[in-house]
A and B are shown apart, each in its own frame.
Chain A
Amino acid sequence: MAKCQRCQDNASVHLTEMVDGRRRELHLCLPCARQAGVALPESAPSLALDAVVQDLIVSHVGELVGELARLTCPDCGLKFMEFRSNGRLGCPNDYRVFARGLLPLVQRAHGATRHVGKVARRRPDATDRLRLRTHLREAIAREDYELAARLRDQLRLKDADA
Chain B
Amino acid sequence: MNLDDLTRTSGEWLRGSGPESDIVMCSRIRLARNLADFPFSNRASRGEKAEIENHFKNAVDHADLELNYIELNGMSVLDRQFLRERQLISNELANGEGPRGVAIGPQEHISIMVNEEDHLRIQVMLSGLSLGDVWDQINRLDDKLEEHLAYAYSPQLGYLTACPTNVGTGIRVGVMLHLPALVQTKQIDKVFRALQKINLAVRGLYGEGTQAFGDFYQISNQQTLGKSEPELIRILTDVVPQVIQYERTARTALMNERRQHLHDQVSRAYGVLKTAHTISSEETMHLLSSVRMGINLGLIDDLEIATVNELFIQTQPAYLQKLQGSELGVEERNVARASYLRSRLSNGRHVEPE
Q: Which residues of A contact B (CB under 8 A)?
A: 75-78, 87-92, 95-96, 102, 105-106, 109-121, 123, 126-130, 133, 137, 162
| Interface locus among B152-160, B187-195, B250-258, B330-338 | B152-160
Whether A137 and B227, one on each chain, are in contact in the complex, defined by CB atoms closer than 8 angstroms, is no
Residues of B within 8 A of A75 (CB): 39
Shortest B91–chain A CB gap in Å is 16
9 tightest A-B CB contacts, nearest first: A112-B226, A115-B158, A126-B36, A129-B37, A120-B153, A92-B152, A123-B150, A117-B228, A110-B225
Residues of A within 8 A of B40 (CB): 76, 88-92
Within 8 A of A (CB), among B153-184: 153-165, 167-169
Extra contacts besides A89-B161, A114-B226 (19): CB < 8 Å = A75-B39, A87-B163, A89-B40, A90-B39, A91-B43, A96-B154, A109-B223, A109-B225, A112-B168, A113-B157, A113-B225, A116-B226, A117-B158, A118-B142, A118-B228, A119-B155, A120-B153, A130-B36, A133-B39
- Chain A residue at minimal CB-CB distance from B160: A92
Residues of A within 8 A of B223 (CB): 109-112
Residues of B within 8 A of A111 (CB): 223, 226
Residues of A within 8 A of B162 (CB): 88-89
Can you report 17 residue pairs joining A to B where beta carbons are below 8 Å apart? A75-B39, A89-B162, A92-B36, A96-B154, A109-B223, A112-B225, A113-B157, A113-B225, A115-B169, A116-B168, A116-B226, A117-B229, A117-B231, A118-B169, A119-B155, A127-B37, A133-B39
Whether A115 and B225, one on each chain, are in contact in the complex, defined by CB atoms closer than 8 angstroms, is yes
Which one of B37, B139, B227 contacts A116 once the chains associate, using CB atoms below 8 Å?
Answer: B227
**B45: interface (CB < 8 Å):** yes
Which one of B117, B150, B225 contacts A126 once the chains associate, using CB atoms below 8 Å?
Answer: B150
Chain A interface SS verdict (over half): loop
Residues of B within 8 A of A115 (CB): 154-159, 167-169, 225-226
Q: How far is the CA of A130 from the CA of B228 in the complex (A)?
A: 28
Residues of A within 8 A of B165 (CB): 109
Within 8 A of A (CB), among B1-60: 34-40, 42-43, 45, 48
Which one of A89, A119, A127 contacts B36 once the chains associate, using CB atoms below 8 Å?
Answer: A127
Residues of B within 8 A of A89 (CB): 40, 161-164
Whether B154 and A110, one on each chain, are in contact in the complex, defined by CB atoms closer than 8 angstroms, is no
Q: How far is the CA of A88 from the CA of B154 in the complex (A)?
A: 18
**B224: interface (CB < 8 Å):** yes
> B138-156 toward A: CB 8 Å interface, digit per residue (1/0)?
0100100010001111111
Whether B42 and A90, one on each chain, are in contact in the complex, defined by CB atoms closer than 8 angstroms, is yes
Q: How far is the CA of A113 from the CA of B123 in the complex (A)?
A: 25
Q: How far is the CA of A105 from the CA of B39 in the complex (A)?
A: 21
Q: How far is the CA of A115 from the CA of B231 in the complex (A)?
A: 13
Residues of A within 8 A of B156 (CB): 113-115
Q: How far is the CA of A96 from the CA of B150 in the complex (A)?
A: 18
Q: How far is the CA of A112 from the CA of B164 in the complex (A)?
A: 12
Q: How far is the CA of A112 from the CA of B165 in the complex (A)?
A: 12
Whether A120 and B159, one on each chain, are in contact in the complex, defined by CB atoms closer than 8 angstroms, is yes
Shortest B34–chain A CB gap in Å is 6
Whether B43 and A121, one on each chain, are in contact in the complex, defined by CB atoms closer than 8 angstroms, is no
Which one of A96, A102, A116, A123 contacts B151 once the chains associate, using CB atoms below 8 Å?
Answer: A123
Q: How far is the CA of A92 from the CA of B167 in the complex (A)?
A: 11
> B193-225 toward A: CB 8 Å interface, digit per residue (1/0)?
000000000000000000000000000001111
Residues of B within 8 A of A123 (CB): 36, 150-151
Shortest A111–chain B CB gap in Å is 6
Whether B43 and A76, one on each chain, are in contact in the complex, defined by CB atoms closer than 8 angstroms, is yes
Q: How far is the CA of A137 from the CA of B154 in the complex (A)?
A: 25
Q: How far is the CA of A87 from the CA of B154 in the complex (A)?
A: 20
Q: How far is the CA of A109 from the CA of B221 in the complex (A)?
A: 12
Q: How far is the CA of A116 from the CA of B224 in the complex (A)?
A: 10
Whether A88 and B150, one on each chain, are in contact in the complex, defined by CB atoms closer than 8 angstroms, is no
Most chain A CB neighbours (cut-off 10 Å) among B42, B146, B223: B42
Q: How far is the CA of A102 from the CA of B167 in the complex (A)?
A: 11
Residues of B within 8 A of A128 (CB): 37
Q: How far is the CA of A115 from the CA of B156 in the complex (A)?
A: 6
Residues of B within 8 A of A127 (CB): 36-37
Which one of A105, A110, A117, A162 contacts B150 once the chains associate, using CB atoms below 8 Å?
Answer: A162
Whether B226 and A133, one on each chain, are in contact in the complex, defined by CB atoms closer than 8 angstroms, is no
Whether A95 and B225, one on each chain, are in contact in the complex, defined by CB atoms closer than 8 angstroms, is no
- Chain B residue at minimal CB-CB distance from A90: B43
Q: How far is the CA of A90 from the CA of B117 in the complex (A)?
A: 11
- Chain B residue at minimal CB-CB distance from A87: B163
Residues of A within 8 A of B231 (CB): 116-117
